[in-house]
Structure 1
Amino acid sequence: MIDEGFMIGEALVGEEPEIAHIDLIIGSKKEAVGTAFACSIAQPRQGHTPILGVIRPNLPTKPTTLIVPKVSIRNLADAEKMFGPAQSAVAKAIADAVEEGVIPKAEVEELAVIVSVFIHPRGRDYQRIYRYNYAATKLALSRAIQKFPDIDKVLEEKDKSIHAMIGFKMNNLKKPPYLEVALDIPDWRRVEGIIRALPRSDAIIIEAGTPLIKRYGVEVVQKIHQLRPETVVFADLKTLDTGNLEARMAGDATADVAGFSGLAPIGTMEKFIEECKKVGTLSLMDTLNVPDPVEVLRKLKVKPDIVELHRAIDVELYQNRGQEQESEWGNIGEVREVCGNEVLVAVAGGIRLKKVKKALKAGADIIVVGRAITAAKDVTGAARGFLQQMGVEDVDQFRVMTDF
Structure 2
Amino acid sequence: MRSELLETLRRTKFLQVALDFIDINDALVVARKVSDLENVIIEAGTPLVKAEGIRGLLKLRELGKIVLADTKTADAGDVEVEIAYRGRSNIMTVLGAMDDSTVESAVKKAKELDILVQADLIGVKNTVDRAKQLYSLGVDIVGFHIGLDVQRKRGVTVADLKDEIRETGKYGIVSVAGGLSPKNINDLVELPISIYVVGGAITKSNAPRKVAEEIIKILSTSTIATR
Consecutive unaligned residues of structure 1, counting only runs of 5 or more, are 1-157, 160-168, 393-404
Alignment of 1:93-172 (within 5 A): 172=8
Q: Does 1:315 align with 2:150?
A: yes
Alignment of 1:193-342 (within 5 A): 193-226=29-62, 228-229=63-64, 231-300=65-134, 301-320=136-155, 327-329=159-161, 330-337=163-170, 340=171
Preserved contact between residue 158 and residue 177 of structure 2 (Cα < 8 Å): no
Cα distance change, pair 271–326 in 1 and its aligned pair in 2 (3 A)? closer
Tell me the matched-pair count.
218
TM-score (norm 2): 0.87
The aligned counterpart of 2:210 is 381
Tell me which amino acid in the other structure corresponds to 2:88: T
Whole-angstrom CA distance in 2 between matches of 1:225 and 1:298: 31
The aligned counterpart of 1:121 is none
The aligned counterpart of 2:225 is none
Alpha-carbon offset, residue 234 of structure 1:
0.2
Secondary structure in structure 1 of the residue aligned to 2:188: helix
Cα distance change, pair 250–286 in 1 and its aligned pair in 2 (3 A)? same
Q: Which has the larger radius of gyration?
A: 1
Tell me which amino acid in the other structure corresponds to 2:165: I
Alpha-carbon offset, residue 303 of structure 1:
2.7
Secondary structure in structure 2 of the residue aligned to 1:180: strand
Secondary structure in structure 2 of the residue aligned to 1:360: coil
Higher relative contact order (CA 8 A, sep 6+): 2
Alpha-carbon offset, residue 255 of structure 1:
0.7
Cα distance change, pair 244–234 in 1 and its aligned pair in 2 (3 A)? same
Tell me which amino acid in the other structure corresponds to 1:189: N
Alpha-carbon offset, residue 241 of structure 1:
0.5
Alpha-carbon offset, residue 353 of structure 1:
0.6
Preserved contact between residue 146 and residue 157 of structure 2 (Cα < 8 Å): no
Alpha-carbon offset, residue 336 of structure 1:
3.6
Preserved contact between residue 94 and residue 119 of structure 2 (Cα < 8 Å): yes
Cα distance change, pair 263–326 in 1 and its aligned pair in 2 (3 A)? closer
Tell me which amino acid in the other structure corresponds to 2:153: Y
Preserved contact between residue 306 and residue 346 of structure 1 (Cα < 8 Å): yes
Whole-angstrom CA distance in 2 between matches of 1:194 and 1:311: 23
Alpha-carbon offset, residue 315 of structure 1:
1.6
Consecutive unaligned residues of structure 2, counting only runs of 5 or more, are 222-227
Whole-angstrom CA distance in 2 between matches of 1:250 and 1:285: 15
Whole-angstrom CA distance in 2 between matches of 1:172 and 1:220: 25
Tell me which amino acid in the other structure corresponds to 1:389: I
The match for 1:189 among 15, 25, 36 is 25
Residue by residue over 1:226-272, the C-alpha shift from the partner in whole angstroms, topping out at 9 and shown as x without a partner, is 2x12x100000000101111112212221101100011111111111
Alpha-carbon offset, residue 354 of structure 1:
2.1
Cα distance change, pair 368–260 in 1 and its aligned pair in 2 (3 A)? same
Whole-angstrom CA distance in 2 between matches of 1:185 and 1:356: 23
Preserved contact between residue 373 and residue 383 of structure 1 (Cα < 8 Å): yes
Residue by residue over 1:99-155, the C-alpha shift from the partner in whole angstroms, topping out at 9 and shown as x without a partner, is xxxxxxxxxxxxxxxxxxxxxxxxxxxxxxxxxxxxxxxxxxxxxxxxxxxxxxxxx
Residue by residue over 1:190-225, the C-alpha shift from the partner in whole angstroms, topping out at 9 and shown as x without a partner, is 111101111512300011000001111133111101
Whole-angstrom CA distance in 2 between matches of 1:171 and 1:295: 24
Q: Percent of aligned pairs with the same residue?
A: 27
